[in-house]
């Protein structure tokens, strides 16, 4: 058991005893899950403010119980599927989405050196692998199957169109997203997320400054990858009803919904890890270790707020605009960024 | 734990590979191939080749197979297999298949017989299978095959473009250079002036002012605002 858990995937950094790993796994799952209703409420409140209305304010104090009411309602609804749907795929697709979304959360490092908790040294990350960044991309690739299969197995035209758009969009923006990070990876010399943060610590400079182009491309491509406005073409409520999840209801719809918000949180955390220095607090080098997770969460919150702000501001792109923007602007720009970074790195 | 995972992944890989060949519905065949590739990456992981495992998922499962699923879902649909091709094509495919089997057989038997005497590597260096190590090998020992493979991919990409142009793609007459200005939104796009029809943003970066030939004259900039509201817009 230890050879797999402590072996290939976490080869470089500190690996804990097996019971700590199991506790950590459960804890990360719980934290990831409990962030979802918070972000859900935050988004609805913030959207309300942007649109000059109070947002949810009836359930609980200040509307605080609204997400629980939403999720509760969804879970107690009838499970149905369309007559022509392919049963097992229809059931499996939201699960794939959910699992792939949650699997990326443990990759986020929440602190630098392992922290001492109750006498045991514990690294505040699920998995600190030397290929953490690639694992992130691998799981987001698997996540696209959840959308694709869900839309296809519903045997509905709206679902199908949404899923097909999703497939094309995810492939197109995955390339730009990966290339945009090449600058960061080259500067660090590693694919490990905690080493990327360490490098920013040592440089005393967040990657946002030297890699501003990469950060921009990564941010835009991530918006497309997690299907947020203005790239929410696979849902496109005004033209496709609900896109790939048109035929879903009840608990299965809730799975898609929760996966979307997990993606949102992970996107924010990933951006703050890669470009905003992770747990690093500017101009304060001797910050105590217990602050680290809160710093990461605070930076995540900033990014999530920006993403919600964008949702409140921008209209949806047209499909051809989406494609030409991805291939003709983002991808060349990302390649150029990688090239320039390489030249600068060699020249220095 | 390792042994259990190995057998689970190995059996899944074999079953899924068989499914890819024998399933009638092309969509399910592709899904079966996806399962096969995932189990293969599991096997790579057990061999301490974590980089290869993850890249396998990223490239094959994430990009190539999504494209297969995409194409199959769009144009597939029929569960009937396509026609078997001519006799010459059949002979050619048999020849290819047999060559492939022989080559793989030699490779597997060769390394397998070599390894059966040994006891496996005693200790694997920490850098084994790391991206840095693989990158070093690709740029030193395997430089020529690496470059040849990337050249092959380049040829394939150009071929795809040529084929797409011949099918339908771009006709000779409609081919034009895309200027950088075309990609920018024309000035005034999405503005209130466009909304009321005072200007007409055209691609190329400029907005033509509309001068209505009939009815009301040009819209004055300042006085008209009150008039608009009193008409009861869709606010």
Considering only CA atoms, give the Rg of chain B.
30
What percentage of residues in chain A have a pLDDT greater than 90?
7
Q: Is residue B18 part of a domain?
A: yes
Answer yes or no: do B129 and A8 touch at CB < 8 A: yes
Q: What is the pLDDT of residues A243-279, one digit of tens each?
A: 788 888 788 888 888 888 998 999 999 999 888 888 8
Per DSSP, the residues of A285-329 read TT--GGGHHHHHHHHHHHHHHHHHHHHHHPPPPPHHHHHHIIIII
Residue B111 resides in a domain = no
Distance CA A228, CA A225 (A): 8
Same domain, B153 and B185: no
Expressed as residue numbers, the domain containing B164 is: 142-176
**Out of B55, B69, B183, whose CB is closest to A328?**
B183
Q: Say whether B126 and A148 touch across the interface (CB within 8 A).
A: no
Q: Find the residue in B nearest to A146 (Cα).
A: B66
pLDDT at A24 over 90: no
E strand or H helix at B33, and its extent? Answer: helix B26-46
CB-CB contact of A4 with B2 (8 Å): yes
Q: Do B171 and B199 share a structural domain?
A: no
User: Taking all residues of chain B, what is their mean pLDDT, rounded to a whole number?
Assistant: 76
pLDDT of A302 reads: 92
> In what helix (H) or strand (E) does residue A121 lie, and over which residues does it extend?
strand A120-122
Total domains in chain B come to 3
Summarize the confidence of residues B15-27 as an average pLDDT: 87
Q: What is the pLDDT of residues A86-131, one digit of tens each?
A: 778 888 888 988 888 888 888 888 877 676 666 677 777 777 777 8
Give the CATH number of the domain where residue B29 resides. 1.20.120.1200
Q: Which pLDDT score, from 0 to 100, does residue A244 have?
A: 80
Q: Does B229 map to a domain?
A: no
CA angle A46–A48–A54, rounded 5-degree value: 110
B53 and B3 together in one domain: yes
Which of B47, B66, B189 is the best mutation test for A, with the most CBs of A within 10 A?
Answer: B66
Looking at residue B27, the DSSP 8-state letter turns out to be H
pLDDT of residue B136: 87
pLDDT > 70: percent of chain A? 91
What span, in angstroms and rounded, lies between the C-alpha atoms of A152 and A154?
Answer: 6
- Do B193 and B158 sit in the same domain of this protein? no
Per-residue pLDDT, B101: 92
Contacts of A9 in chain B (CB under 8 A): 45, 50
Question: Same structural domain for residues B208 and B188?
Answer: yes
Q: Is the pLDDT of residue B30 over 80?
A: yes
Residue A305: per-residue pLDDT? 92
pLDDT of residue B229: 43
Find the mean pLDDT for residues B213-219: 49
Identify whether B195 is part of a domain: yes
Q: Does any domain span residue B99?
A: no
Query: Is residue B166 in a domain?
Result: yes
Better-predicted residue by pLDDT, B180 or A234: A234
pLDDT score of B20 more than 50: yes
Across B99-116, average pLDDT: 85
CB A262 within 8 A of CB A37: no
ipTM score? 0.81
When pLDDT is cut at 50, 70 and 90, the band that residue A2 belongs to is very low
Looking at the structure, do residues B154 and B202 belong to the same domain, yes or no?
no
Q: Report the chain A residue with the minimal C-alpha distance to residue B126.
A: A11
Judge whether residue A76 has pLDDT over 70: yes
Q: Label each residue of B98-141 as H, E or C.
A: HHHHHHHHHHHHHHHHHHHHCCCCCCCCCCCCCHHHHHHHHHCC
pLDDT category at A201 given cuts 50, 70, 90 is confident
- Contact residues, chain A, for B130 at CB < 8 Å: 11, 130-131
**Is B20 within a domain?**
yes
Q: Could you tell me if B161 and B198 lie in one domain?
A: no
What does pLDDT average to over chain A? 82
Task: Name the β-bridge partners of B201.
Answer: B207
| Distances in whole angstroms, Cα of residue B228 to Cα of each of A277, B215, B235 | 50, 16, 11
What share of chain B in percent tops pLDDT 90? 16
Count interface pairs A-B at CB distance under 8 A: 91
The string of pLDDT tens digits covering residues A282-300 is 777 767 777 788 888 889 9
**Residue A131 is nearest to which of B46, B48, B54, comparing CB atoms?**
B54
**B48 in any annotated domain:** yes
- Tell me if the bond preceding A77 is cis, omega within 30° of 0: no
Q: Which two tokens stand for residue B19?
A: 């499914």
**Helix (H), strand (E) at residue B206:** strand B206-209
B215 pLDDT above the threshold of 50: no
CB contacts under 8 A, A 184-203 vs B, are 191
B1 and A163 within 8 Å at the Cβ level: the answer is no
The shortest CB-CB distance from A148 to any of B51, B57, B66 is to B66
């Amino acid at each position: 058991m230890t050879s797999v858990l402590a072996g290939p995937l976490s080869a470089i950094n500190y690996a804990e005893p097996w019971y700590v790993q199991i506790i950590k796994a459960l804890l990360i799952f719980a934290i990831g899950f409990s962030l979802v209703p918070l972000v859900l409420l935050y988004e609805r409140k913030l959207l309300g403010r942007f649109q000059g209305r109070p947002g949810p304010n009836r359930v609980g104090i200040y509307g605080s119980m609204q997400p629980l009411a939403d999720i509760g309602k969804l879970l107690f609804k009838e499970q149905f599927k369309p007559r022509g749907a392919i049963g097992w795929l229809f059931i499996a697709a939201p699960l794939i989405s959910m699992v792939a979304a949650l699997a990326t959360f443990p990759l986020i490092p929440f602190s630098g050196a392992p922290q001492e908790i109750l006498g045991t040294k514990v690294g505040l990350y699920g998995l600190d692998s030397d290929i953490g960044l690639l694992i992130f991309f691998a799981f987001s690739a698997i996540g696209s199957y959840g959308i694709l299969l869900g839309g296809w197995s519903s045997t509905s035209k709206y679902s199908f169109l949404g899923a097909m758009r999703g497939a094309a969009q995810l492939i197109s923006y995955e390339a730009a997203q990966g290339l945009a990070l090449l600058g960061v990876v080259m500067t660090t010399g590693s694919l490990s997320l905690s080493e990327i943060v360490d490098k920013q610590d040592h440089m005393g400079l967040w990657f946002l400054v030297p890699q501003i182009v990469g950060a921009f491309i990564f941010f835009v491509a991530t918006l497309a990858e997690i299907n947020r406005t203005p790239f929410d073409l696979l849902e496109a409520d005004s033209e496709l009803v609900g896109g790939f999840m048109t035929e879903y209801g009840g608990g299965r719809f809730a799975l898609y919904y929760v996966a979307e918000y997990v993606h949102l949180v992970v996107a924010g955390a990933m951006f703050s890890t890669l470009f905003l220095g992770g747990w690093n607090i500017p101009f304060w080098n001797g910050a105590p270790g217990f602050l680290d997770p809160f710093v990461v969460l605070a930076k995540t919150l900033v990014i999530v707020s920006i993403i919600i702000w964008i949702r409140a501001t921008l209209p949806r792109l047209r499909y051809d605009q989406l494609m030409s923007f991805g291939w003709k602007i983002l991808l060349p720009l990302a390649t150029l960024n990688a090239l320039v970074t390489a030249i600068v790195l060699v020249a220095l | 734990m390792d042994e259990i995972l190995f057998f689970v992944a190995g059996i899944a890989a074999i079953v899924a590979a068989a499914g890819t060949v024998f399933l009638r519905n092309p969509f399910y065949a592709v899904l079966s191939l996806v399962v096969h590739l995932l189990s293969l990456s599991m096997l790579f992981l057990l061999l301490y080749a974590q980089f290869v495992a993850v890249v396998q998922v990223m490239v094959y499962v994430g990009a190539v197979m999504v494209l297969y699923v995409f194409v199959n879902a769009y144009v597939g649909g029929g569960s009937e297999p396509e026609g078997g091709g001519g006799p010459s094509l059949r002979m050619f495919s048999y020849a290819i298949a047999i060559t492939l089997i022989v080559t793989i057989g030699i490779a597997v038997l060769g390394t397998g017989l070599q390894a059966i005497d040994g006891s496996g590597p005693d200790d694997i260096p920490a850098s084994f299978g790391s991206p840095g190590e693989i990158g070093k090998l690709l740029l030193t020992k395997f430089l020529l095959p690496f470059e040849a493979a990337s050249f092959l991919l380049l040829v394939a990409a150009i071929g795809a473009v040529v084929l797409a142009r011949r099918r339908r793609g771009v006709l000779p007459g409609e081919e034009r250079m895309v200027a950088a200005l075309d990609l920018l939104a024309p000035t005034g796009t999405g503005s209130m002036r466009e909304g009321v029809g005072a200007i007409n943003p055209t691609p190329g970066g400029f907005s033509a002012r509309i001068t209505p030939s009939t009815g009301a004259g040009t819209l004055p900039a300042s006085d008209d605002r009150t008039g608009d509201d009193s008409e009861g817009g869709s606010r």
